């Protein structure tokens, strides 16, 4: 097996915050060509392909090259690729350059062995996943083949994730009357205060019940995350706004959740900010999950509260699987165990060989 660690170190030392992935893409393309892989590179993704020895299904290994900004609070240079024992510390080390490096190494090893028995293995490294401008939908549209199955590379500690929550963002708006605060209390009828009606509805929000529960993900979670009101200290607020972060499950469509929130609140106007990140789950009877279980009998499938580009592969037999601990994603001193990266490359290769038999 070709060692993925050297590639990972080079990728971490090549900063690629969302929108600036060009250097990392060029580095990966050069590495892949030196290892005999077929490379396609455009403004949507870098694509590596390993053809099988006879016709068969297409297995996609998909991850992303972009990272969130480094931010503050690091104990080391976030782009130096600092080693600490078996750990590599750096922005993107876990999310998700470890997956990219392990997937590329798995493909190179499979190519060096003559390719899979049937079908083809495709590695797709996309851009902008950490933003609203992910290139995954366009990269999938440009694929010459429809994937029969896909592994989404995100940090899962090499355990197969079989369901992930979606994200629905809602804006709640309450309108009030703008008057001088000194006169507000004595005026009859009292002017409508946007903060007061918002407070009434936000208390009611705690009583919203979406009773259908998903077997792996549980109940839909509704969380107010932002609140804004007021134009001056001595003026009643003409408007109050809140944002709800709703983490959805396959038990409800996003439209059903919106209707439930609208029906439960008494005063708010409910606006949809974003409903594109729908929940996803591995289908019952998944052939891909069966392949994972064959090569890793101790696999412990789990469900994830975080979103990923899996949303764009929800109609494909998919699992989310990769080296790294999701809890360190986006944090200062983000890290990944190098041994896990090597095991990840071996696992990707083994799953590909089993699925493409």
For every residue of 163-213, which 3-state class applies, written as one string?
Answer: EECEEEEEEEEEECCCCEHHHHCCCCCCCCCHHHHHHHHHHHHCCCCCCCC
Nearest to 49 by CA among 27, 41, 40: 40
Residue ending a domain, choose from 220, 254, 277: 277
Residues 219 and 339 in one domain: no
> What is the CATH number for 321?
3.40.630.10
| pLDDT value at residue 38 | 96
| pLDDT value at residue 184 | 81
As a whole number of angstroms, the distance between CA 153 and CA 323 comes to 8
The full DSSP string for 26-56 is: HHHHHHHHHTT-EEEE-SSEEEEEEE-SS--
Beta strands in the chain (DSSP E): 38-41, 45-51, 58-64, 82-84, 87-89, 120-126, 149-152, 161-164, 166-175, 221-229, 239-248, 269-277, 280-281, 302-304, 317-320, 335-337
Which portions of the chain are predicted below pLDDT 70?
A: none
| pLDDT value at residue 174 | 98
Query: Domain range spanning residue 330?
Result: 5-164+279-355
| pLDDT value at residue 183 | 84
| pLDDT value at residue 190 | 86
| pLDDT value at residue 180 | 92
List residues bridging with 229 in a β-sheet: 240
| pLDDT value at residue 223 | 95
Q: Which residue's structure tokens are 């929940």?
A: 279
Nearest to 90 by CA among 19, 12, 2: 12
Number of domains into which the chain is organized: 2
Cα 42 to Cα 11, 105, 126, 176: the distances in Å are 18, 21, 10, 51
List residues bridging with 173 in a β-sheet: 241, 269
Using DSSP's 3-state secondary structure scheme, residue 316 falls into coil
Residues 88 and 221 in one domain: no
Work out the angle at residue 231's Cα, subtended by the Cα atoms of residues 230 and 237, and round it to the nearest 5 degrees. Answer: 45
Using DSSP's 3-state secondary structure scheme, residue 239 falls into strand
As a whole number of angstroms, the distance between CA 222 and CA 246 comes to 4
Residues 159 and 170 in one domain: no
| pLDDT value at residue 271 | 98
Residues 170 and 235 in one domain: yes
Residues 57 and 147 in one domain: yes
> What is the CATH number for 261?
3.30.70.360
| pLDDT value at residue 40 | 97
Residues 187 and 234 in one domain: yes
The pTM score is: 0.89
């Amino acid at each position: 097996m070709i060692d993925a660690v050297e590639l990972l170190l080079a990728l971490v030392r090549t900063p690629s915050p969302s929108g600036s992935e060009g250097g990392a893409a060029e580095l990966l393309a050069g590495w892949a060509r030196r290892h005999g892989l077929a490379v396609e590179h455009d403004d949507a993704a870098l694509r590596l392909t390993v053809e099988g020895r006879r016709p068969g299904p297409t297995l996609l290994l998909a991850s992303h090259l972009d990272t969130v900004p480094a931010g503050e609070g690091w104990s080391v240079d976030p782009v130096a690729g600092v080693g600490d024992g078996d750990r590599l510390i750096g922005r993107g080390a876990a999310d998700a350059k470890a997956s990219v490096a392990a997937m590329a190494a798995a493909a190179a090893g499979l190519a060096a062995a003559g390719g899979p028995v049937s079908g083809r293995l495709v590695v797709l490294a996309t851009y902008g996943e950490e933003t609203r401008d992910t290139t995954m939908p366009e990269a999938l549209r440009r694929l010459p083949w429809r994937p029969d199955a896909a592994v989404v590379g995100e940090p899962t500690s090499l355990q197969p994730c079989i369901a992930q929550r979606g994200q629905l963002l809602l804006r709640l708006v309450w309108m009030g009357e703008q008057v001088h605060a000194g006169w507000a209390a004595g005026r009859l009828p009292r002017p409508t205060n946007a903060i007061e009606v918002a407070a009434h509805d936000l208390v009611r929000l705690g009583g919203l019940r979406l009773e259908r529960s998903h077997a792996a993900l549980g109940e839909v979670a509704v969380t107010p995350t932002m609140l804004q009101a007021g134009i001056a200290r001595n003026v009643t607020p003409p408007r109050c706004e809140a944002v709800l972060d709703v983490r959805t499950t396959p038990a409800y469509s996003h439209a059903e959740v919106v209707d439930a929130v609208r029906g439960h609140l008494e005063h708010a106007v409910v606006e949809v900010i974003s409903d594109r990140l729908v929940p996803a789950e591995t289908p019952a009877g998944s052939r891909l999950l069966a392949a994972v279980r064959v090569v890793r009998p101790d696999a412990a499938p789990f469900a994830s509260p975080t979103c990923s580009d899996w949303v764009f592969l929800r109609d494909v037999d998919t699992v989310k699987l990769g080296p790294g601990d999701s809890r360190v994603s986006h944090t200062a001193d983000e890290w990944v165990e190098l041994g896990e990266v090597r095991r990840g490359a071996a696992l990707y290769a083994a799953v590909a060989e089993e699925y493409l038999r």
